[in-house]
Amino acid sequence: MAYALMIHPTDNVAVVTEAVRPGEDVLYEDANGGQVCLKAAGDVPVYHKIALRDIAPGEQVLKYGKTIGVATAPIAKGEHVHCHNIESPERKELI
Partner 1 sequence: MEFYGYRRSDGRVGIRNHVLILPASICASDTAEMIARQVNGAVSFHNQVGCSQVPSDMQYALDMMAGLAANPNVYGTIVVAAGCETCQCGMVMDAIAARTNKPLHGLIIQKEGGTIRLIEKAVRLAREMAAEASTLRREKFPVSELILGTECGGSDPTSGIAANPVIGKVSDALVADGGTVILSETTEFIGAESILADRAKDEHVRRRILEIVERYEQHFIRNGENVRLGNPTPGNKEGGLSTLEEKSLGCIHKGGESVIQAVYDYAKPIPTDVKGLVIMDTPGNDASSIAGMLAGGAQIVVFSSGRGTPLGSPIAPVIKITGNDATFRMMEDNIDFNAAPVITEQKKPAQLGEALYKMVLDCCDGKLSKAEALGFTETAVMRACNYV
Q: Report the interface residues with partner 1, using CB under 8 A.
A: 5, 7, 15, 17, 45-49, 63-64, 66-69, 81-83, 86-89, 91, 93-95
CA distance 95 to 88: 20
HSE at residue 93, side-chain half, CA atoms within 13 A, is 1
CB nearer to partner 1: give 23 or 89: 89
Q: How far is the CB of 77 from partner 1 (least distance, A)?
A: 18
The answer to whether 22 touches 43, Cβ cutoff 8 Å, is yes
Q: How far is the CB of 22 from partner 1 (least distance, A)?
A: 18
CB count within 10 Å of CB 49 equals 24
The answer to whether 44 touches 8, Cβ cutoff 8 Å, is no
Q: How far is the CB of 10 from partner 1 (least distance, A)?
A: 13
Q: How far is the CB of 20 from partner 1 (least distance, A)?
A: 12
